[in-house]
Structure 1
């Protein structure tokens, strides 16, 4: 069974997270949700298997911490 790990604000972010998770050996699916007026998707659910949810949460938390650190350094 697939479980929502995170909701990305756009397709680019969703793909980056998916690529990162897959590089760590975690199976990932993306599911678009919500539509703009022009018909493009607004948000994307990042789904992982129920068996990998805890590991996936740890990996995602690490990735988000690294991102925040980089943003702080760039300021």
Structure 2
């Protein structure tokens, strides 16, 4: 089961975060979450069993 660990604004920011987490060794994917006018949001997903660890890495990397 996939779990949302973060919602990012814009494709470039999403790609940056996905690349950073992949580089850390996590299995990560992203989905279009919402579009409000010109702003697009993507949810970043990780396997449920890794979700807490991924969020800890997001904090360490300064995204949260």
TM-score range, shorter chain: 0.7 to 0.9
Q: From the two aligned structures, give the one with the greater helix fraction.
A: 1
Q: Which runs of 5+ in 1 are unaligned?
A: 66-75
Higher relative contact order (CA 8 A, sep 6+): 2
Q: Which runs of 5+ in 2 are unaligned?
A: none
Moved segments of 4+, more than 3 Å: none
Q: Larger Cα Rg: Structure 1 or Structure 2?
A: 1
Residues 41 and 49 (structure 1 numbering): CA distance in 2 closer, same or farther, change over 3 Å?
farther
The whole-number CA distance in structure 2 between the counterparts of 1:42 and 1:3 is: 19
TM-score by length of 2: 0.87
The whole-number CA distance in structure 2 between the counterparts of 1:17 and 1:35 is: 19
Q: From the two aligned structures, give the one with the greater strand fraction.
A: 2
Q: CA contact under 8 A between 1:33 and 1:41: conserved in structure 2?
A: no
The whole-number CA distance in structure 2 between the counterparts of 1:25 and 1:42 is: 26
TM-score by length of 1: 0.75
In the alignment, what sits opposite 1:8? Answer: 8
RMSD across aligned C-alpha pairs, in angstroms? Answer: 1.7
Matched residue count:
63
